[in-house]
Amino acid sequence: MIDYSLLAPGAVLALWTLVMLLWLAGTRFPAMAKSGMDVKTAQPGGRGQDLEQVLPASVNWKSHNYTHLLEQPTLFYAVIIFLTLAGGVTQTTLGLAWAYTGLRVVHSVYQATINQVMVRFSIFVLSTICLLALNVMAVIATLG
C-alpha cells in the first residue's frame, strides 16, 4: 500500500497557486479599469507582461509571484511524486515538504504585499534548502 501523505503538501501548493491567480485577477482588472484601458479595443496579442510599466508595481507583484509559483515548485511536484513512488515517505520528508509549502505561501503573501527584496530572498533561500534536501533524498530513494 502506497503512502500518499507526501502528496498533500503538493495539493495544497497547487491550490495556493490558483489562489494567487485569483488575487492577480482581482487586483489587475480594477487597476486596468482605473488606468482607462479597454481590453475590447486592445491590440491582438497583448500579454500580462505588457502591463509591467503600465500598472502600479504592487499590482504586478501578484503576477510576479504567480509566475514564480510556476517555476521552482514544478521541481517540488516532481520530487514529491518520485519520493511517493519510491517509498521515500518519512517523517523527515513530510516535514520538509510541509515546510516548503508553508514557506512558499509566506513568500507569496510577502511578495504580493511588502516585497522587500532581502526578506523575500531569505524566505526563498530557506524554502530552496528544504527542496534541496528533498531532492537529495529522492535521489537516494530512487537509486535505492
Partner 1 sequence: MGPVAALAAWSMVMWVWMYATRIPAMQKQKIDAKGLVGTTGRTLDDALPAEVQWKAHNYNHLMEQPTVFYAVALALAIGGQGDGLNTQLAWAYVALRVVHSLVQATINRVMLRFAIFAVASLALVALCINAFMAFVIV
What residues make contact with partner 1 under the rule CB under 8 A? 2, 4-5, 7-8, 10-12, 14-15, 17-18, 21, 39-40, 42, 44-47, 67, 70, 73-74, 77-78, 81, 84-85
Q: Which of 8, 12, 9, 11 is nearest to 131 (CA)?
A: 9
Cβ distance to partner 1 smaller for residue 86 or 133: 86
Q: How far is the CB of 116 from partner 1 (least distance, A)?
A: 26
Sign of the CA dihedral running 12, 17, 23, 29:
negative
Q: How far is the CB of 80 from partner 1 (least distance, A)?
A: 8
Q: How far is the CB of 106 from partner 1 (least distance, A)?
A: 18
How many angstroms separate the CA atoms of 102 and 107, rounded? 9
103 neighbors 126 (Cβ within 8 angstroms) = yes
